[in-house]
Structure 1
Amino acid sequence: MKLLFIGGTGLISEAVSKLAVEQGHELYLFNRGLRNEWAPEGARIIQGDIRDREAAAAALEGYEFDAVVDWISFTPAHAQTDIELFRHRTRQFIYISSASAYQKPPQHYIVTEETPLANPFWQYSRDKIASEELFMEAYRSSGFPVTIVRPSFTYGDSMIPASVNSWRHPWSLIDRIRRGQKIIVHGDGTSLWTMTHNTDLAKGFVGLLGNSEAIGEAFHITSDEVLSWNQIYAAIGAAAGAEPILVPVSSDFLAAFDKDYIGGLLGDKAVSSVFDNSKIKRFVPDFKATVPFAEGIKRTVASFESRPDACTVDAAWNEHVDQILAAYESAKPTYTAIKFGSL
């Protein structure tokens, strides 16, 4: 197939790009050329900025594709641009939504594609929901060939996944564990979660490309392995070669201390999420996630260690964690939790 990925060099998309090329597809990447070290050999680069609609249309003039994937569409405005740009340029358009769009708090801890979409805690998720609605309306009214994919927490060589870590300097968590400093685990660490290696997600994702039966449908693609957050941090510690010193801190307290945690915790990781992958397995019968987290995180740590320039430590984040721990120890009896009605 002839494929176009908008972006294509990020955490999730680089694994999909690599697998698509390995399977013999003709892959074009449309991006600004800032991360092309993650582009697979054989991919063709079209340099441009999808946020500049007119310039993007000019750069794509004359191209048609079997499938287009926009990895960097986050708002309804981005979605509308995609609909206008690709209405007559592709047989299938895959929109990357998010599993955080599913109902929070959930009615049931097992999530299917039929779980309602509602997240009062996180604007990011509400924008994904609104974008899905735009695409589906375009599908219903004019046949826009959309397929929706909702990844959950996906990691790989460039991501050390945790509920509390530095986003820009993820090695900070490994450094802190190895130095014997305390690590925050939200809640009591017993809520259930699903970690998915990007190479596993790629297998299900590539199986949807060019699949006409997937048009008008939505899918999540995750591992079937279910772990508590205590188990997740234990596996990260084992990969780091040191046992983490875990301090349970209430998610409500974290959100009250820093509003940046409202979305990522109360709107996502604070609640148990176990994904039923029956639907993706029906549409892609060969799909099976095969990388257990204990193995995958060892690969991740090894990848960082092979790239010393990636092993950077965020001093401001370390100070932030210490401030949270000090405040929690002193305020445990008296802090006021964020309630739904106060958002």
Structure 2
Amino acid sequence: MDVCVIGGSRHFGRRLIEELRDGGATVTVVNRGSTPPPPGVTHLLADRDDEQALHTALADRHFDTVVDQVCYTPRQAAIATRVFADRTRRYVLTSTVEVYAETGRPGGPALTESAVDPATHPIDLELPWHDQQFIADHYGEGKRQAEALLTRQAPFDTALVRTAHVLGGADFTGRLAHYVRRIEAGLPVAVHPAPQPASFVHAPEIARFLAFTATADFTGPVNAASHGPLDAHELSAAIARELGTRTEPVAAADVTVSVDAETGALFSPFSFDRCYAMDTTRAAGLGFRFSPVADWLPQAVREARA
């Protein structure tokens, strides 16, 4: 196969490129060049927000599949529909669990793909999608609208991989490391009074699933998450066990606090007041079975501690 990856210079995107390459695909990486891709792939320089630059960089190239790691807005999705209209038969958007941000409820069931329908979600290209702060503040909505635009306007088949919270490897977000530092030091972690379960996935496994999706033929949204959602109490307890600490700071109500002393945020990452767990029945039906969180979380904790 001939696969184009947009972005993919760090974290699990780099693993994805290696998965595709090692699986025998011819891989072309398109990014701005801030980080070189792994060896053995073609590297093209272009800003994905610059439509003409993309046309120029891609020239007469054609691909079996495009995997878009860095599409955050409907404007970027619209550019993709035009640039790749005659260049690919399949497009995979790396989306996010954050599309469900306003959907779950306390004590609610795991979320299925139907909870957010890209065929009906509104699209507003007039919002300030050029403003990086606006994009950051509306991350989930940007992804929802990107999904919607690709679903309704793309001239190629589109798969939307709704990725759970990714842990492990060189995680530049530092979210798991935040828990590890505080729990190892015996410090409290700020969580909601009744934190709700969230889904997680291991960095190597989401890379494998994206590579699997690139070579498959299904379309539409699919949840990608390991088995065994955890709330902030359960996550902290698991981390404490791996660290061998005598206490589990978040698990006891008397040490749960409402402001995180390290970040200044109201609550720590991965503490939610509504259910963020994702149902992965569709992924299993497509032939991919995710591993249990318990199988890889100890390794992720060790990596975050390093």
Same fold (TM over 0.5): yes
Give unmatched runs, 5+ long, in structure 1.
Answer: 161-166, 307-343
Identity %: 22
TM-score (norm 2): 0.79
Question: Equivalent residue for 2:249?
Answer: 245
Task: Show the 5 A alignment for 1:264-283.
Answer: 269-283=272-286
Of 192-201 and 41-50, deviating more is 41-50
Task: Show the 5 A alignment for 1:33-72.
Answer: 33-36=33-36, 39-72=37-70
Q: Does 1:180 align with 2:178?
A: no
Question: Equivalent residue for 2:24?
Answer: 24
Distance 2:24 2:31 in 1: 21
Task: Show the 5 A alignment for 1:59-208.
Answer: 59-102=57-100, 104-106=102-104, 108-116=108-116, 123-139=138-154, 143-159=155-171, 167=173, 171-189=177-195, 191-208=196-213
CA displacement 1:104-136 (0-9 Å, x = unmatched)? 243642211111358xxx622112111222111
Question: Post-superposition shift, 1:227?
Answer: 2.3
Does the residue aligned with 2:27 lie in a helix, a strand or coil?
A: strand
Greater C-alpha Rg: 1
CA displacement 1:239-275 (0-9 Å, x = unmatched)? 344344223245xx88xx988879x77xx93312332
TM-score (norm 1): 0.71
Contact 1:188 1:248 in 2 (8 A): no
**Letter of the structure 2 residue corresponding to residue 248 of structure 1:** T
Question: Which residue among 226, 242, 252 is the counterpart of 1:223?
Answer: 226
CA displacement 1:40-93 (0-9 Å, x = unmatched)? 442322222212221221111111111011111101111111111111111111
Contact 2:236 2:249 in 1 (8 A): no
Question: Post-superposition shift, 1:301?
Answer: 4.1
Give unmatched runs, 5+ long, in structure 2.
Answer: 122-136
Aligned Cα root-mean-square deviation (Å) = 3.1
Distance 2:89 2:8 in 1: 19
**Letter of the structure 2 residue corresponding to residue 126 of structure 1:** E
Contact 1:151 1:222 in 2 (8 A): yes
Distance 1:60 1:124 in 2: 28
Q: Does 1:233 align with 2:236?
A: yes
Question: Post-superposition shift, 1:210?
Answer: 3.4
Distance 1:231 1:18 in 2: 33
Does the residue aligned with 1:204 lie in a helix, a strand or coil?
A: helix
Does the residue aligned with 1:114 lie in a helix, a strand or coil?
A: helix
Question: Equivalent residue for 2:132?
Answer: none
Question: Post-superposition shift, 1:294?
Answer: 4.3
Distance 2:200 2:226 in 1: 7
**Letter of the structure 2 residue corresponding to residue 18 of structure 1:** E
**Larger fraction in helix:** 1
Question: Post-superposition shift, 1:7?
Answer: 0.8
Distance 2:302 2:21 in 1: 25
**Letter of the structure 2 residue corresponding to residue 81 of structure 1:** I
Matched positions, count = 280
